[in-house]
């Protein structure tokens, strides 16, 4: 292909060998430690304060490092982990329903469609039980049974009840737990908090990550912050689609700037389209709202059997409804994994059986559950979600079925990391959604919270110590030529954005980019579509740099300037996503290529050619990205066609 | 529908600020309030004017970033709703809507509708936590928690830290915010060891940050988008009283 070149495969992932059950324990013992007295002499920068960044900064602070934490929001408590609704998985087996660390490991590798690293996923499953203990100790108010013990529920892709939850606000409660631990460290002076600061560049000195360039979003001041290691916990890049369930400010800039400085970007085309979101209502739409997957425990998904049936849903008799998930996937029914539920919704809408004003919607119906359990029970479980639905749509879901449609929700791809969560730039660690590590080509519900907290509380603090202990370094000042160059780059870029002074708003470009990506790099991709998208993205990017209008100056709070920088980076990422999607001539998880499907329309993987992680190197000189493959080896969970039938 | 907006514009903390009138035509009732402001801002940018700065992020009512005083009410007319979840079907054609920032001594204006709520973080840092360093936790099921306590703790923990309570209070008090966290943690067994030092630390930080005192008016609770009940403040007061007597009784104090 003309769009990329292939480089050397990735030789070492630092994953230990031997029995998978003992890899993490043995690795932890083998790693070096930092003496408590030496920790306070070491500075660690953590970018982002969500579940991963917040828990990491708090833990590193507790351990005695000098931590500098950054977030773009006005408070670390507002990071978008706060919006996660459904729950967090853990292999506690409190239900005695056959769960175990091995089963969580197995379900996650299978759920990821055999595109994740076994060693990492096993570690995640092991650590999951410690996370629940940690959060309970912090006072996180999980749902409980009458006997006072923790309640759990089912989630997609699993046949055991291993999902712990706090009504429909699990992310909020877990994040506040981490935030409070972080605030405690801030109060003690161990963590220096910098809210309303945005990382705009990474500083690399002698091949190591040694700092970042940040902009104070209130004063406009640019500063260079130096450290002994840098941790990115800056989240996912779903907003490349403009419309997504991400917060408006979520962006790829921190990751992308690191990528341009040498960190490989892995599997960028693996994006998760969540099946249950409130459908788009008009051109003014600025974001999409998720309705938790937990609703599929009690809601039944259906569309009319015949095309163009525009009767009100309550007037459509039972035998004229198609409960298509229950029909096609009898053993998992409405609880099939997200990628499968999303594509099934797309298929019935493509057939012309979609509902609602746009025809892009399917029903999620609670009538049976209300009849069986009573309205009170449904209110207790999902009350806040039902209210949210009614506020947005003006319809009462206790009376009429919800209308839902898939929307971009999570990105499995991200910066490539080894087993130690270190990127290809030594000293640059990447945790949470920002890395690519544990979810393969599809993330299971309630696994994002688990991974964010596993990385931040338990994995990174060990692996980072090993790096710092093994690599004693000289202090580097902000006056170092590399640091000065990084800062100059940032300043020039901001000046350039402000100087365009064109005739289109940044949002109008972002919206158009999102449409290209949704159409060609969304739920279904094809070679022709992706090639077209790449041409369109390039043309639009050129227009952006000629016609975008960024009002104001860089001297103070300027939300247009913030947006412009982020959208400029999304343009570059979008192209790489399409190249990655184009090169992966198979269907797996969230990546569905029209050319590669089984006769009954399921994803057709090609393990012979594509059982690898695609890690992309930025190559400014060559002009095209360089592909490095990390071969995936499955010793415990043998790849099979994923079946939820 | 066609609307007239009167919006507070203030270039920075030193500027005096003023209300500016903007007509906004063709508003769809399905738009959220912030999407309506997006439409206005898009137009202002193309007209060569500065768009209106306002805080927002998740736009699904949970991050607590949005902070608009709409027609004199924190988050606008709909009960239990943040400004980002407020939809234009709540307004009628031809209406004039006033939009202002939170107004409170402890929340200085940064620009236009954006305020600094860092004081809330300081209150949490002064005790709004359980000290449980990573890795030190006992097995989660070792301490059962009565369901009603867990549920009540959850209801208090639902606070999103938006500051509507402060903006609605004639005294500019942050007591509902403080009491919500005190209540959550004092209801749980995990919160008991620090129960009394917590309440003193948080109330002291609250007062130092320039929030006003609570005089039991109750505006806070009715403005709260998450329905944090007023009786949490009663709970805080009881804990505070106990804490001060305990402190007075400590040998050597």
CB contact under 8 A, B161 and A391: no
**Nearest Cα residue to A416 out of A575, A262, A522, A238:** A262
- What the block records as the tokens of A105 is 């490991």
Bridge partners (DSSP) listed for residue A208: A205
Contact yes or no for A237/A411 (Cβ under 8 A) = yes
Does the domain made of A275-409 have the CATH classification 3.90.700.10? yes
CB contact under 8 A, B63 and A78: yes
What gap in Å lies between CA B202 and CA B181, rounded to an integer?
Answer: 9
ipTM value for the complex: 0.97
Tell me, yes or no, if A338 is annotated catalytic.
yes
How crowded is the C-beta side of A607, counted as CA atoms within 13 Å? 12
What gap in Å lies between CA A212 and CA A204, rounded to an integer?
Answer: 9
Q: What's the pTM value of the predicted model, to 2 decimals? A: 0.97
pLDDT at residue number A645: 81
Mind telling me how many Å the CA of A167 is from chain B's nearest CA?
A: 9
CB contact under 8 A, A284 and B35: yes
Residue A601 near chain B (CB below 8 Å): no
Residue B1 near chain A (CB below 8 Å): no
For β-strands A548-549 and A222-226, DSSP reports them as: unpaired
What gap in Å lies between CA B134 and CA A374, rounded to an integer?
Answer: 41
CB contact under 8 A, A173 and B161: no
* Cα–Cα distance list, A121 to A109, A128, A220, A439, A634 (Å): 7, 11, 41, 8, 12
- HEC profile of A610-628: HCEEEEEECCCCCCCCEEE
Mean pLDDT across chain A = 96
Instruction: State the CATH architecture for A481-609.
Output: Up-down Bundle (1.20)
Residue A144 near chain B (CB below 8 Å): yes
Regions of chain A with pLDDT less than 70: 1, 622
Question: How many residues does this entry show for chain A?
Answer: 645
Closest chain B CA to residue A181: B129
- Dihedral over Cα of B211, B214, B217, B218: its sign: positive
- What the block records as the tokens of A162 is 């291993």
Q: Give exposure, A444-470, as e/b (b: 16+ Cβ within 10 Å).
A: bbbbbbbbbbbbbbbbbbebbbbbbee
- What the block records as the tokens of A643 is 């079946």
Choice among A23, A77, A296, A338 that is catalytic: A338
CATH for the stretch B3-111: 3.10.20.30
Residue B133 near chain A (CB below 8 Å): yes
pLDDT at residue number B249: 64
**Nearest Cα residue to A460 out of A491, A434, A492:** A434
**Nearest Cα residue to A127 out of A164, A163, A92, A97:** A92
**Domain extent listing, chain B:** 3-111, 117-249
* Cα–Cα distance list, A575 to A64, A204, A273, A578, A582 (Å): 42, 25, 19, 5, 11
Secondary structure (DSSP) of A561-612: HHHHHHHHHHHHHHHHHHHHHHH--S-BTTB-BTTSB-TTS-B---HHHH-E
Contact yes or no for A182/A191 (Cβ under 8 A) = yes
B178-B181-B182-B184 Cα dihedral, nearest 10 degrees: 150
User: For the packed helices A170-187 and B147-157, what is the interaxial angle rounded to 10 degrees?
Assistant: 70
- HEC profile of A379-403: HHHHHHHHHHHHHHHCCCCCCCCEE
* Cα–Cα distance list, B105 to A416, B56, B160, B166, B210 (Å): 46, 21, 20, 10, 6
The domain B117-249 belongs to what CATH superfamily?
A: Alpha-helical ferredoxin (1.10.1060.10)
- Dihedral over Cα of A533, A538, A541, A546: its sign: negative
- Stretch(es) of chain A classified as CATH 3.90.700.10: 275-409
Phi-psi region of B71 (alpha: psi -120 to 50; beta: other; left: phi over 0): left
Contact yes or no for A512/A570 (Cβ under 8 A) = no
pLDDT at residue number B253: 42
**A435 φ, ψ (degrees, to nearest 5):** -95, 175
* H/E run at residue B110: strand B109-111
What gap in Å lies between CA B191 and CA B197, rounded to an integer?
Answer: 11
Tell me which residues of chain B, numbers 63 to 82, contact chain A at a CB-CB cutoff of 8 Å. Answer: 63-65, 78, 80-81
E strand segments, A384-486: 402-411, 414-415, 428-430
How crowded is the C-beta side of A300, counted as CA atoms within 13 Å? 17
* CB-count burial class (<10 Å; 0-12, 13-18, 19+) for A608: exposed
- What the block records as the tokens of A158 is 């699993």
Regions of chain B with pLDDT less than 50: 252-253
- HEC profile of A157-204: CCCCCCEECCCCCHHHHHHHHHHHHHHHHHHCCCEEEECCEEEEEEEE
Q: Contacts of residue A392 in chain B, CB cutoff 8 Å?
A: 32, 85, 87
Bridge partners (DSSP) listed for residue A226: A211
Residue A553 near chain B (CB below 8 Å): no
Q: Which one of A58, A281, A503 has the shortest CB-CB distance to B30? A: A281
What gap in Å lies between CA B122 and CA B205, rounded to an integer?
Answer: 7
Residue A175 near chain B (CB below 8 Å): no
- Dihedral over Cα of B113, A180, A446, A234: its sign: positive
**A310 φ, ψ (degrees, to nearest 5):** -105, 20
Q: Contacts of residue B137 in chain A, CB cutoff 8 Å?
A: 130, 133-134, 136-137
- What the block records as the tokens of A546 is 């000629």
> From the CB of residue A11, how many other CB atoms can be counted at a distance below 10 Å?
7
Token pair 């935030």 in the structure block, residue: A179
Contact yes or no for A174/B176 (Cβ under 8 A) = no
Residue B6 near chain A (CB below 8 Å): no
What's the distance, CA B101 to chain centroid?
A: 12
Alpha helices of A521-558 — where are they, by DSSP H? 527-547
Bridge partners (DSSP) listed for residue A512: none
Closest chain B CA to residue A547: B46
């Amino acid at each position: 292909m003309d769009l990329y070149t292939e480089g050397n495969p990735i030789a070492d992932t630092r994953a230990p060998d031997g029995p998978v059950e003992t890899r993490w324990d043995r690795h932890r013992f083998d790693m070096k430690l930092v003496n408590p007295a030496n920790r306070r002499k070491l500075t660690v920068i953590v970018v982002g304060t969500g579940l991963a960044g917040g828990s990491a900064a708090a833990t590193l602070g507790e351990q005695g490092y000098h931590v500098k934490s950054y977030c773009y929001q006005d408070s670390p408590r507002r990071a978008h982990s706060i919006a996660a609704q459904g729950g967090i998985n853990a292999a506690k087996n409190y239900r005695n329903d056959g769960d175990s660390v091995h089963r969580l490991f197995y379900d996650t590798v299978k759920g990821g469609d055999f595109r994740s690293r076994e060693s990492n996923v096993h570690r995640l499953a092991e650590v999951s039980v410690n996370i629940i203990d940690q959060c309970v100790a912090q006072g996180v108010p999980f749902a409980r049974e009458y006997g006072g013990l923790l309640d759990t529920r089912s989630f997609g892709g699993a046949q055991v009840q291993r999902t712990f939850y706090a009504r429909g606000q699990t992310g909020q409660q877990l994040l506040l737990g981490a935030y409070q631990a972080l605030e405690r460290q801030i109060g003690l002076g161990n963590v220096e908090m910098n809210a309303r600061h945005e990382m705009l560049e990474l500083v690399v000195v002698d091949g190591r990550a040694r700092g970042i360039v940040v902009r104070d979003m209130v004063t406009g001041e640019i500063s260079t912050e130096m450290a002994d290691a840098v941790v990115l916990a800056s989240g996912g890049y779903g907003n490349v689609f403009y419309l997504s369930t991400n917060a408006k400010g979520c962006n790829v800039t921190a990751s992308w700037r690191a990528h341009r400085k040498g960190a490989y970007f892995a599997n960028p085309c693996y994006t998760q389209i969540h099946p249950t979101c409130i459908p788009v209502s008009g051109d003014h739409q600025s974001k999409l709202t998720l309705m938790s997957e937990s609703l599929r425990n009690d809601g039944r998904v259906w569309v009319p059997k015949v095309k163009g049936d525009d009767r009100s849903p309550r007037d459509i008799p039972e035998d004229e409804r198609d409960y298509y998930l229950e029909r096609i996937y009898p053993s998992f029914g409405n609880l099939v994994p997200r990628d499968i539920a999303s594509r099934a919704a797309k298929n019935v809408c493509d057939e012309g059986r979609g509902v609602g004003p746009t025809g892009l919607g399917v029903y999620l119906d609670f009538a049976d559950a209300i009849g069986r359990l009573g309205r009170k029970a449904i209110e207790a479980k999902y009350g806040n979600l039902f209210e949210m639905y009614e506020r947005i749509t003006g319809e009462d879901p206790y009376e009429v079925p919800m209308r839902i449609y898939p929307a971009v929700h999570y990105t499995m791809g991200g910066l490539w990391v080894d087993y130690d969560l270190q990127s290809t730039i030594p000293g640059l660690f990447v945790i949470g959604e920002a890395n690519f590590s544990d979810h393969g080509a599809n993330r299971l519900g309630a696994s994002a919270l688990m991974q964010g907290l596993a990385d931040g509380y338990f994995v990174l603090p060990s692996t980072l110590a090993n790096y710092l202990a093994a690599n004693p370094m000289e202090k580097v000042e902000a006056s170092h030529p590399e640091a000065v160059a990084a800062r100059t780059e940032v300043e020039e870029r901001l000046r350039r954005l402000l100087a365009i002074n064109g005739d289109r708003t940044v949002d109008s470009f972002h919206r158009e980019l999102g449409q290209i990506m949704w159409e060609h790099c969304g739920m279904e991709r094809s070679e022709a579509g992706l090639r077209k998208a790449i041409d369109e993205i390039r043309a639009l990017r050129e227009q952006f740099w000629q016609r975008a209008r960024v009002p104001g100056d860089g001297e103070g709070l300027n939300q247009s300037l913030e947006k412009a920088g982020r959208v400029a980076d999304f343009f570059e990422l979008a192209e790489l996503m399409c190249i990655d999607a184009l090169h992966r001539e198979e269907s797996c998880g969230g990546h569905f290529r029209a050319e590669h499907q089984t006769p009954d329309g399921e994803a057709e993987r090609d393990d012979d050619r594509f059982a690898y992680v695609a890690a992309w190197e930025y190559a400014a000189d060559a002009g095209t990205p360089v592909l490095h493959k990390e071969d995936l080896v499955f010793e415990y969970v043998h790849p099979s066609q994923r079946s939820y039938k | 529908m066609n609307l007239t907006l009167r919006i507070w514009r203030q270039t920075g903390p030193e500027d005096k600020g003023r209300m500016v009138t903007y007509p906004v035509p063709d508003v769809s009732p399905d738009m959220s309030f912030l999407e309506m402001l997006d439409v206005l801002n898009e137009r202002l940018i193309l007209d060569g004017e500065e768009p209106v700065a306002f805080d927002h992020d998740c736009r699904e009512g949970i991050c607590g970033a949005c902070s608009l005083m709409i027609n004199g009410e924190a988050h606008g007319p709909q009960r239990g709703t943040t400004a980002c979840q407020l939809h234009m079907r709540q307004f009628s054609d031809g209406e004039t809507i006033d939009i202002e920032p939170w107004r409170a001594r402890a929340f200085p204006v940064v620009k236009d509708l954006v305020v600094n709520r860092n004081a809330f973080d300081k209150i949490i840092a002064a005790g709004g936590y359980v000290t449980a360093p990573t890795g030190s936790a006992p097995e989660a099921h070792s301490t059962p928690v009565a369901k009603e306590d867990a549920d009540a703790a959850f209801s208090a923990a639902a606070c999103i830290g938006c500051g509507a309570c402060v903006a609605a209070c004639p005294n500019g008090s942050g007591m509902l915010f403080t009491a919500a966290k005190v209540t959550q943690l004092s209801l749980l067994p995990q919160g008991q060891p620090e129960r009394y030092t917590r309440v003193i630390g948080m109330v002291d930080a609250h007062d130092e940050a320039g929030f006003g005192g609570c005089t039991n008016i109750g505006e806070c609770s009715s403005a709260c988008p998450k329905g944090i009940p007023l009786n949490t403040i009663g709970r805080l007061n009881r804990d505070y009283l106990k804490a001060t007597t305990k402190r007075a009784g400590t040998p050597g104090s």
